Amino acid sequence: MSMLTVQLKALSKLNLLNKKKIMVLDDWGPFDDGFEEISLTKGSEDEIKLWLADELQKKSIVRILDYVSVEELGRILFQERQNINTPASLVKLPKDFYYRALLLIDNLKLKNDLEAIEQIRKARQLINEIISIRIRKIIQLAFLGISDQTILDKLTTEEILVYRNIKYTIEHTIGDIIGYTTS
């Protein structure tokens, strides 16, 4: 298993500790997660850790609110395509964008109907194309040695990790070939 794979898996686990906006569908609690006591009141909106929100959503106690929609994926793809050959033209995404996209697919799977199946197919296609375009831009940024923070702020957490790994590999591979590091 590569170091990048290990790092991405660790990020995935850390995402579970991020708080997510939820709509409370049924009273629940109190529950002590070791850090705070949580009580949820039907009809309210709240923020709770993702691991708990995910479990409570499976039991129809809450609905997670901040995931992306298929329409939003289409808008992001359109914007990324506008300047497909300009690496600095990345669309600013939330740091947990890919996890939100995964939540969209998980929510669609719960519906279990033909329309949802079509929406899952479309969402996966859009996500794959977004990733393809963005990774191409990130490789170009790393190759050019771009470290402009305003550009890097547009990247998701996973993309920052990919960028840093690619940049490190490029710098050290060139150094190994010619006998010194470029940084």
Question: Could you read off the pLDDT tens digit of each residue along the chain, which spans 183 residues?
Answer: 676 677 767 766 666 667 778 889 999 888 887 778 888 889 898 888 878 888 888 888 988 887 789 999 999 999 999 998 888 899 999 888 998 898 899 888 888 889 999 999 999 999 999 999 999 999 999 989 888 899 999 999 899 999 999 998 888 876 666 666 555
**Closest C-alpha to 77, from 136, 142, 153, 128:** 128
Q: Is 64 exposed, middle or buried (0-12, 13-18, 19+ CB in 10 A)?
A: buried
- The confidence score (pLDDT) of residue 17 equals 64
Residue 139's pLDDT is what?
A: 93
DSSP assignment letter at 179: T
| Cα–Cα distance, 130 to 158 (Å, whole number) | 14
pLDDT at 14: 66
Q: What architecture does CATH give domain 67-183?
A: Up-down Bundle (1.20)
pLDDT at 153: 93
Among residues 53, 50, 49, 6, the alpha carbon closest in space to that of 25 is found at 53
Which residues have a Cβ under 8 Å from the Cβ of 179 and sit 6 or more positions away? none
Domain limits, the chain:
1-66, 67-183
- Record the pTM: 0.76
Its CATH class, for the domain covering 1-66, is alpha beta
